[in-house]
Amino acid sequence: MRALAVVVVTVILSFGPAIAASAQLGPNAPSPLTQPEPPPPPEAPKTDVGGLSTLQKILIFGSAGAILVLIGWLIVRDAHKAAPVEERGPRTPTEKRMSARERERHQRQRRAKDKAAKRQRKKNRQR
């Protein structure tokens, strides 16, 4: 009899939490073990959010490069137009045979011409 009492108490204690839980949920509540599985989440709409295509990237970088080349070309062209032309050496065979005195005279004339041009630029700047 004692053994039977121990077995009954063990069975009651093992099913005790399940009985207590079902008592708390109420008689009409579904059992936690028999609840239906929740529906799967809806799929996101398939939109291409990947960014620019390869052709678009090529067009963007190509046009940017072309603009940079054009700007560089315009700057160099303008600089060549604005740069003073410098006489580098004799242009005719007779100029090659000038004496030292004649070369000095030409150099003085060229320097005087450069100074006059510099004075003129300063004068125009003050206006």
CA separation (Å) from 92 to 96, 101, 107? 7, 18, 17
Mean pLDDT value of segment 55-75: 96
Q: What's the CA gap between 109 and 59, in Å, rounded?
A: 56
Q: What's the CA gap between 79 and 109, in Å, rounded?
A: 26
User: In this model, does residue 72 exceed pLDDT 80?
Assistant: yes
Q: Note the pLDDT tens digit of each residue in 22-54.
A: 555 556 666 666 666 778 888 877 766 678 889
Burial string for 15-30 (b: 16+ CB within 10 Å, else e) reads: eeeeeeeeeeeeeeee
In which region does residue 51 sit, left (phi positive, over 0), alpha (psi from -120 to 50) or beta (all else)? left
Per-residue confidence (pLDDT) for residue 20, from 0 to 100: 56
Per-residue confidence (pLDDT) for residue 29, from 0 to 100: 63
Confidence (pTM): 0.33
User: In this model, does residue 6 exceed pLDDT 80?
Assistant: yes
